[in-house]
Amino acid sequence: MTESSGPDHLYLVGMMGAGKSTVGRALATRIGLPFVDVDTMVEGEAGRSIPELFAEGEEHFRRLEADVLSTVGQGPEPAVVAVGGGAVLAEANRRVLAGTGTVVWLRAAPSTLRARLEGGDGRPLLARAGDVGLAVEKLVAVRAPYYADVADLIVDVDGLGVVDVVDAVQRRLQAIGRR
């Protein structure tokens, strides 16, 4: 478990399609913490959707994402936080995660992600890809080392329903002395 002087957030990281938002909501309800979705906060603060923000450039979106994650990390009360899939690419974001909470990597095989993301609707990095499966595999190859680096716990989600994933996360958290 990460040592933290501030609130001990529970961060869910992983690829788009791994279930961070869905699992995060269910987990937050179960353990009695507020739920925060970084992507939703970015959209709310920017007044535009993620695809619209990406149209202005991925770098622009990533700056907004980093600002929101930093603000969430400094929040006064612990929360379950669904972190955008690419947030781990920035070193500053990895420091926020490591310094303000426990990080759970919801790990999914590329085949699982491909099945969940076919079509790429609302996913700018996939919408412009000709082959969603190949795009997912490339993103996993780049991001997996960063997820592994920040993760305090890893939960494999392949073939599991939401309740099963929440159960697995909760068991692993209890094993390290968290909720």
All structural domains of the chain, each given as residue ranges with its CATH number in brackets, are 9-172 (3.40.50.300)
CA 63 to the chain's CA centroid: 16
pLDDT band at 137 (very low <50, low <70, confident <90, very high): confident
Cα(105)–Cα(28) distance, rounded to whole angstroms?
16
Mean pLDDT check: name the lowest of 24-28, 51-55, 59-63, 152-156: 51-55
4 vs 98, more confident: 98
pLDDT of residue 65: 95
Structure token digits, residue 137? 């595999």
Helix (H) or strand (E) holding 64: helix 58-73
**Could you give the CA distance from residue 66 to residue 171 in angstroms, rounded to a whole number?**
30
pLDDT of residue 108: 96
Largest CA distance in the chain: 45
